[in-house]
Structure 1
């Protein structure tokens, strides 16, 4: 994963948003941290592993294509939107890269764009380890306003990606796809 390129890509989006929304000179860090916390909650919700009260603790890693309804065809040929697979996307991965956007943006804001990352650092993918990693990411996000916990947050978040079953390549590809969507949203007044 090319972190320099990821940070530069995020910088372009952040600069665009700041300019187009007239946010120059404003302290956006508290809002970025809150946005990250919300996205971490959405990611946990798609993971579902913490829902001890539910029969369904399986991660949401697939939603059907909206154009073909998940059937993979449009009655004449393979669906051009999903290439005939019926898959519309991976909500778990999409929420993960939403978090990554805010983590990169926070790094740009606080001037930390070279975090040390070893992927993975964990020894397992159990529900218990993954729950702990989610809680640690939330805890370090809370501490970003007062102390320098950014490197730990970044490391633990990358580790969480491994625990959720993602590779560097999947994360990077999904990040760039979502970044393009974010630019399109800015162009259409999202």
Structure 2
């Protein structure tokens, strides 16, 4: 995965939003942390594996209604992957706020962790990064990023899946800005 390109692409989208929404000089870090938590919750909701009270605990990987692009390309929309890349957008955006970029692949893939454990770990990591001060934020952010990538692997996504879905959603986000979203 080309992490530098992902961070740069996110930077361009964030700069466009700041410009078009007249947010210059506004600290958006708190909003980005909340957005990441919300999107992670939406991802967990599509995963469904924590819903012990439900008969259906299978991940929602197919949507019955095809999007225009999916229909044109003969693909069905994957809500689980889409929520994952929504999280990735905010994770990259937070990293850009700290002027920090992860340019290396996942250091340790913990295949012994369950998806449930990794979701909880990522939620904990978000708090750790948010509450860190100074130089410690770099290590905490790297841990969050690595745990998030591990979550993606545990959910069955390849690096190619993630990158393609990220760029597809980034294009959609730019189109939304053009259309006054």
Same fold (TM over 0.5): yes
> How many pairs align?
175
Deviation track 1:72-118 (CA, whole Å, cap 9, x = no partner) reads: xxxxxxx9952585x53000000000000000000000111125532
Q: Does 1:133 find its partner at 2:124?
A: no
**More relative contact order in 1 or in 2 (CA 8 Å, sep 6+)?**
2
- 1:51 alignment partner in structure 2: 51
Larger Rg: 1
**Structure 1 unaligned spans of 5+:** 68-78
- 1:10 alignment partner in structure 2: 10
Runs of 4+ in 1 over 6 A off after TM superposition: none
The answer to whether the 8 Å contact 1:46/1:91 transfers is: yes
Bigger fraction of residues in helix:
2
The answer to whether the 8 Å contact 2:3/2:104 transfers is: no
Counterparts of residues 9-158 of structure 1 (less than 5 Å): 9-66=9-66, 82=71, 85=74, 87-114=75-102, 116-118=104-106, 121-124=109-112, 129-147=114-132, 148=137, 149-158=140-149
The answer to whether the 8 Å contact 1:134/1:160 transfers is: yes
**Structure 2 unaligned spans of 5+:** none
SS of the equivalent of 1:51 reads coil
TM-score w.r.t. the length of structure 2 is 0.90
Q: What is the root-mean-square deviation of aligned Cα atoms in Å? A: 2.0
Deviation at 1:64, TM superposition (A): 2.1
SS of the equivalent of 1:144 reads helix
The answer to whether the 8 Å contact 1:51/1:57 transfers is: yes
